[in-house]
Structure 1
Amino acid sequence: MFIVMRKDLVKVMCVLQWPLGSVVAQGSHAAVAAIWKYREDARVKEYTDNIESMHKVVLSTKNEASLLKMAENLKQKSIPYYLWTEQPENTPTCLATVPVMRSDLGDALKQCSLFR
């Protein structure tokens, strides 16, 4: 499963100044939402049948525009994902894919790096 977080939300980046815990919560929201929305997908069933071996990769992207670009890339490759939009701010904060192999992504998330 891949989770893509906006780096500009983190407090130390001084743009929107969200606490790190709030940013982590956004990723959690997106991951749970993706699993729930696509719960009938065979990949999700296999993933949740083996909870002791779940694997997630948390990536970062620089801002809202780049996050929306990643969402469009995934859509073009027919990879199911959930774009989490925080309310009431109506701010897209992150997205999570269904459990997929890195090779299935192709270049859909090529602009992302590991979240640090």
Structure 2
Amino acid sequence: MESPLVDLTQYVILRDDLQTDGRSWPRGALIAQACHACVSVNSIFKSDPNVCRYTSLENLPHLRTVVLSVESEKKLLDYYNILTTNLVSSHLFTEQPENIVTCLATVPVEKSKVSSLLNKLKTFK
């Protein structure tokens, strides 16, 4: 397989407490939230050069997405603010009609741009 055309990764940060806070969201529902966030951010920022390169037909076999977790809505909002302050475009996804903020997704970015911002987060399990 050829190497990626671009060295970009899309990051998703998902609330881990949705599995443990008494609501016990099914795993499939949590995966759907991450998918919704990715589609949303790529649609909102569709003219961003990184989104265009990442979603190009030639790059589709090489998509890289990292799914991380935070323990609460507050932590998710904290990371959204950190990303925004550091000029990393992202989108908070809110499940409707429940109006529950579930996760965020970044536009595809170079790992070096966000690694120091997200290095304390663990992979979602």
TM class, shorter-chain normalised? Answer: over 0.9
Q: Distance in 1 between matches of 2:74 and 2:101?
A: 9
Over 4 Å off, 4+ runs: none
Please say if 1:76 is aligned against 2:85: yes
Residue of structure 2 equivalent to 1:58: 67
Once superposed, what is the RMSD of the aligned Cα atoms?
1.2
Q: Distance in 2 between matches of 1:74 and 1:85?
A: 18
Please say if 1:35 is aligned against 2:23: no
More helix by share: 1
Residue of structure 2 equivalent to 1:48: 55
Q: Which runs of 5+ in 1 are unaligned?
A: none
Q: Deviations over 1:56-85 (max 9, x none)?
A: 001011110100001000010010001001
TM-score (norm 2): 0.86
Letter in 2 for 1:23: L
Tell me, what secondary structure is at the counterpart of 2:64?
A: coil
TM-score (norm 1): 0.93
Residue among 94, 100, 118 paired with 1:109: 118
Q: Distance in 2 between matches of 1:56 and 1:29?
A: 14
Aligned length: 114
CA contact (8 A) 1:71 1:83 kept: yes
Q: Distance in 2 between matches of 1:41 and 1:14?
A: 36
Tell me, what secondary structure is at the counterpart of 1:108?
A: helix
Letter in 1 for 2:26: P
Q: Distance in 2 between matches of 1:25 and 1:56?
A: 14
Residue among 96, 99, 106 paired with 1:90: 99
Residue of structure 1 equivalent to 2:12: 3
Letter in 1 for 2:122: S
Q: Distance in 2 between matches of 1:95 and 1:40?
A: 19
The structure with the larger Rg is 2
Q: Which runs of 5+ in 2 are unaligned?
A: 1-9
